[in-house]
Amino acid sequence: MKAAPVLVLCNHCTRPSCVRVCPTAATWKREKDGLVMMDMHRCIGCRYCIAACPYGARSFNWRDPRPYIKKDENGELPSNYPTRSKGVVEKCSFCEERVRFGRMPACVEAANRVPGGEGALTFGDLSKPDSEVRKILREKRTICRRISLGTGPNVYYIV
Ligand code: SF4
Ligand code: SF4
């Protein structure tokens, strides 16, 4: 048997259990593109969503993360990235703040920059039959995590 490390990010599920349990609608599935979003201002830190996610895709900020974020040349926090506070839940957003400007999520961009990493990660629109991700799904053998749970994960792994 062979084993390899894999990314275990949020699956932006079609039927996300995290969304169902959130009492404040701080997390929701965005209609226009299916991303499972977070509103840090609405999050009360109850952590129900952490318990409900069967993928361990969420984490809680026990400390203020801002002192640990790399500052720019002026000693300021990056203005193009919405920094979080203590007491809220974090998760992968597929870098929504980049995607909205037509850019790739940071992990996809970084993987493709590494020599030999081209194509290691692909991001795209599953609703379009002619998209690159749909093409890969047609041509390669892929799996999703814990599909039997019925959450409808949308992250696929080529095996
Ligand atoms: S992987 Fe977890 S956090 Fe992400 S949408 Fe699915 S249930 Fe929610
Ligand atoms: S921790 Fe925040 S996002 Fe999670 S269920 Fe509670 S209010 Fe909703």
- Residue 28 is part of a domain; what is its CATH number? 3.30.70.20
Binding site membership of 12 for ligand 1 (Cβ less than 6 Å): yes
Within-domain flag for 43: yes
Within-domain flag for 95: yes
Binding site membership of 92 for ligand 1 (Cβ less than 6 Å): no
Within-domain flag for 42: yes
Query: H-helix or E-strand containing 59?
Result: strand 58-60
Within-domain flag for 3: no
CA 109 to ligand 2 center in whole angstroms: 29
Within-domain flag for 148: no
Residues 59-108 have pLDDT tens digits of 999 999 989 988 888 888 888 777 889 999 999 999 999 999 999 999 99
Residue of 9, 22, 55 to test ligand 1 pocket, by largest number of atoms within 8 Å of CB: 55
* Nearest ligand, measured from the Cα of 46: 2
Is 110:123 a contact under the CB 8 Å cutoff? no
Residues 15-44 have pLDDT tens digits of 999 999 999 999 999 999 999 999 999 999
Domain count, the chain: 1
